[in-house]
Amino acid sequence: MFSLLTAIALAHGPLDASLSQVDADILASPESAELYIKRAQLHLAEGEEAEAAEDLRAAQARGGEVALDLAIITADEATLDALLPAPHAKAHAARGRMRIERGELTGALEDLDAAVLLDPTPERYLERMRLAEQVDVQLAIDGLEGAPGAVCALERVRLLRQTGQRALARDAVDHLLEQNPDHPEWLLLRADLSIFGRPYRKRAQEILEARVQSRPSEKNQALLERSQKGCSALGTCAGALWPGMLMLLWRRRCSG
């Protein structure tokens, strides 16, 4: 079965020309379900959902297995309910989105949980995270633990920082750095999560200076400036902290 919502296969060349060609092909072979599905893909790529749904109905009448895609495009929840006794991640995700629109967050979360179990991709985890964050941030954090992909790990770090769980956030970034120890953005993130983050920031600055020289870009330049400002600020901050730290140590020594 074609998956219209996850893999739109566009022909080469202008879209109008592609539609014209498929129109001609349908005139030549009006009983081809595959051609109607192909034209539905082209309509959907342009956001023309009504036209896509019409073509899918035509494909279905000619034996095409498009019930799920048609139900999603037309927001036909009754059909989704009928299809869902069989495990299907896309159907659960679609029904979950419909429930979100109605404010049924608990039911939506159950659907997105099922979608993650059936299709444990970063996209599914992130969709579930966005909903869980509305219900309970800790629920979103727990749901991202062990999720695949750096983007999921970074979202978990964001939520951990947001809730003041900096030690767990540092652990999560450390795990990322084990996989790629020279990733400058992760090094800067790790530096931001620690009072004594200067070594991480210094390493990021070295990498970024080399990058700016070899392949300059606005992004690399901005990151380099961020690392330089961070080092300066950290040095000033550390200098301001030293007198207080020495006084604290002296008081402890005297009291001991």
Residue 159 in domain: yes
Residues 133 and 163 in one domain: yes
CATH code of the domain containing 40: 1.25.40.10
Query: Would 254 be classed as within a structural domain?
Result: no
> Looking at residue 16, what is its pLDDT?
59
In this prediction, what percent of the chain has a pLDDT beyond 70? Answer: 82
Write down the pLDDT at residue 17: 56
pLDDT for res 138: 96
Q: So what's the pLDDT on residue 61?
A: 86
- pLDDT at residue 121, rounded to an integer: 94
| Cα–chain center distance at 243 | 45
pLDDT digits (tens, 9 = 90+) for 55-90: 888 888 888 777 777 777 877 788 777 777 667 888
Q: With respect to residue 94, please indicate whether it lies within any of the assigned structural domains.
A: no
In this structure, are 138 and 170 located in the same domain?
A: yes
What pLDDT shows up at residue 7? Answer: 41
Residue 28: domain span: 1-74
Q: Is 214 among the domain residues? A: yes
User: pTM for this structure?
Assistant: 0.65
- The closest alpha carbon to 89, from 31, 128, 146, belongs to 128
**Pairwise CA distance, residues 203 & 206, whole Å:** 5
205-210 long-range contacts (CB < 8 A, ≥24 apart) are 205/231, 207/182, 208/184
Residues 167 and 189 in one domain: no
Same domain, 223 and 155: no
Residues 165 and 208 in one domain: no
First to last CA, the chain: 76
Domain final residue, candidates 179, 212, 242? 179
Give residue-wise pLDDT tens across range 169-186: 999 999 999 999 999 999
Q: Helix/strand/coil (H, E, C) string of 88-149?
A: CHHHHHHHHHHHHHCCCHHHHHHHHHHHHHHCCCHHHHHHHHHHHHHHCHHHHHHHHCCCCC
Cα–Cα distances (Å) from 159 to 96, 125, 145, 151, 163, in that order, read: 22, 14, 12, 13, 6
State the pLDDT at residue 215: 83
What is the DSSP secondary-structure string of 191-205? Answer: HHT-TT-HHHHHHHH
- 256 residues of the chain, pLDDT tens digit each: 334 444 443 333 455 558 888 888 888 888 888 888 888 888 878 888 888 888 888 888 888 777 777 777 877 788 777 777 667 888 888 889 889 988 999 999 999 999 999 999 999 999 999 999 998 999 999 999 999 999 999 999 999 999 999 999 999 999 999 999 999 999 999 999 988 888 898 998 888 888 888 887 888 788 888 887 765 444 434 444 444 444 545 555 555 5
Is residue 19 domain-shared with residue 66, that is, in the same domain?
yes
Q: What is the pLDDT of residue 239?
A: 43
Tell me, yes or no, whether 244 lies in a domain. no
User: Is residue 240 domain-resident?
Assistant: no
Assess whether 163 and 187 both reside in one domain.
Answer: no
Q: How many domains does the chain have?
A: 3
Domain check: are 174 and 188 in the same one? no
